[in-house]
Structure 1
């Protein structure tokens, strides 16, 4: 997909990131280089008007899902089980009807500890058109979905020590239903899942801050976040995991399903902005250079987490 020239210029300018070294320490400390043009291209593709918001149980959602499956095949990832597509039916909160959705789940097997897994996730659904307006959901959450595609590509080239499960969750907007279905009927035993890294709204760094949520309920994550050196222009802050309501993000996105099972998580996201859940959440609003470096920072965190999990006792 063709990108606006101003975004393409920003992307090209951000492409000089360092490649991970072959030595373990250098690989742990490097900021991975991702395919910035593909990152932005996927964001624009997923948040195009033709996707009509990618709401669960719509043809456009199925279209987005088919693209994710095709990318998993193109990258050479393996499914977790018989298929990349994992259908589910889950009841909506406070409603008698069930939602039927489909998660897309793939894996890169670990080189040293394949029996332990880290789930890296993002939801690919958004909301349906209303009153003639299309809610493209560029930041929420085409941004996390496109970043997850890049992380899958990166770790397919740079194999992790532990198995990485890449989960593209459906029906998050209806109550974390895809993630809840995943933990209710996991493709691997829950005891083998060491941690979850979730991404939801990671493109609009309007104030330069990427929040890392989860270190308060799961202190094992704190030293990993503290040791993280972000890519240029990205400030990582810990918080939003105490208190109540919108000040506590612990269960406001798919990481909540893992937290409910006692699985440590870090959720990466930005603060709500004026375009949150509005028809104006469009890809043109994204700061392309910052988004690219936020995705690289999250990839670096997953690399550090992969090293750290080896020292954790079994759950």
Structure 2
């Protein structure tokens, strides 16, 4: 609750609120008996100039100046005096009062508390730290809460280039980003399952609760990508998108705390199973994002990435966009767009990429078993 409270003003990278959050996490690490593993106690600070265009690389080497921002990774360590280390991570920064990436369209500035994104992941990380302090001595454990994730995975990228342990001794990395909204059907997405041959069978062996959606790729829009890029096996746990994503309404009252505990227990069982497996082999995966079509228009919906039925299920509708104007609703399943049948997320994106601004077409949605047709203007 503290991390997603108004007092921290949305934890934007480099802000006073984020610094208070870093101090809070460091104190929790200390209370749990974790060793400091930053380069200033528990802290690893990095300064950078924000990008002025999306294709520019961030420069971490900066001169003093008003535009320089300093982020802070917070790093704790359980040293079992063995060769390999498991990295467990979660970002703790968010969007402050609505930085770039905010989906809020209100008139007044409001704090984006980021309870699910990603105070939830930090909470599960702390819970895992308390469990691992007393068990599983086949690996050391590095716990790292990242700054700068919302600005482009900056904290994790910086860490992998300036690690406080040897990257060669990193066994695998577990990332929790948005694990606070486990739905009634217990759908849990796990990304990176193809990055080591043992992951799929281990995840399956301990799953007696979740409807698992598994994705092979080690590349995705969260901090595990930075570790995959230096040849470390990764697993990213995620309970799915929702209407409060990147909005001021992502508050702690909406979290599923029992679900978070169940996810923590599951991850702990997976870690325990892998404890005596030595160093896991790394495997390169196909990057699905390279196959993603580029499109000039959108419906203005939040897709349900956890949906594994036929079509593309809508999990949220943006204000004043084509979908809302056409009368589409949350829960509708898009099964046809124009002349093309939509069977899944990829087919939806492929057909969407064929339209441009000003085009008109028809969309067919499955609404509680009834086929509803609507006119869309992009």
Superposition TM-score, scaled by structure 2 size: 0.64
The one of 98, 103, 121 aligned to 2:73: 103
1:78 to 10, 13, 35: 35
- Which residue does 1:139 correspond to in 2? 116
1:236 to 194, 212, 215: 212
Could you say what secondary structure the match of 2:246 adopts? coil
Does residue 208 of structure 2 align to residue 226 of structure 1? no
Deviates more, 1:267-276 or 1:88-97: 88-97
**Separation in 2, partners of 1:172, 1:290:** 24
Instruction: Give the number of the structure whose alpha-carbon radius of gyration is greater.
Output: 2
Question: Corresponding residue for 1:24?
Answer: none
Q: Which residue of 2 aligns with 1:286?
A: 255
Uncovered stretches (5+) of structure 1, i.e. residues with no partner? 1-43, 243-248
Report the CA distance shift for 1:314/1:256 in structure 2 as closer, same or farther (over 3 A).
Answer: closer
Q: Secondary structure at 2:142's aligned position in 1?
A: strand
In 2, the alpha carbon distance for the partners of 1:124 and 1:81 equals 16
Task: Choose between structure 1 and 2 for higher RCO, CA contacts under 8 A separated by at least 6 residues.
Answer: 1
Counterparts of 1:1-315 in structure 2 under 5 Å? 44-80=1-37, 83-90=41-48, 92-93=50-51, 94=56, 99-110=69-80, 114-130=82-98, 131-206=108-183, 207-230=185-208, 233-239=209-215, 241=216, 250-308=219-277, 310=278, 312=280
Q: Give the 3-state SS of the residue equivalent to 1:202 in structure 2.
A: coil
CA distance in 2, matches of 1:57, 1:312: 35
Structure 2 segments unaligned to the other structure (5+ residues): 60-66, 99-107, 284-378
Alignment partner of 1:172: what SS? coil
Maintained 8 Å contact 2:233/2:282:
no
Contact 1:200 1:269 in 2 (8 A): yes
Asked if the contact 1:234–1:294 (Cα under 8 Å) also holds between the matched residues in 2, the reply is no
Q: How many residues align?
A: 260
Deviation by residue 1:227-279 (Cα, 9 ceiling, x = unmatched): 2235xx5333312x45xxxxxx8221000101111111000012211111111
Give RMSD over aligned pairs: 2.2
Deviations 1:93-134 (A, max 9, x none): 5267654211111111126xx221110000011111134211
Alpha-carbon separation, structure 2, partners of 1:217 and 1:92: 31
Q: Which structure has more helix as a fraction of its residues? A: 1
Give the conservation status (yes or no) of the 8 Å contact 1:108–1:159. no
Shift of 1:79: 1.6
Q: 1:214 to 1:88 in 2, by over 3 A?
A: same
Q: TM-score, with normalisation over the residues of structure 1?
A: 0.77
Deviation at 1:50?
A: 1.2
Asked if structure 2 preserves the Cα contact closer than 8 Å seen for 1:52 and 1:129, the reply is: yes
CA separation in 2, counterparts of 1:117 and 1:91?
A: 32
User: In the alignment, is the contact (CA less than 8 A) between 2:136 and 2:272 conserved in 1?
Assistant: no
Contact conserved, 2:206 with 2:270, CA < 8 A, in 1?
Answer: yes
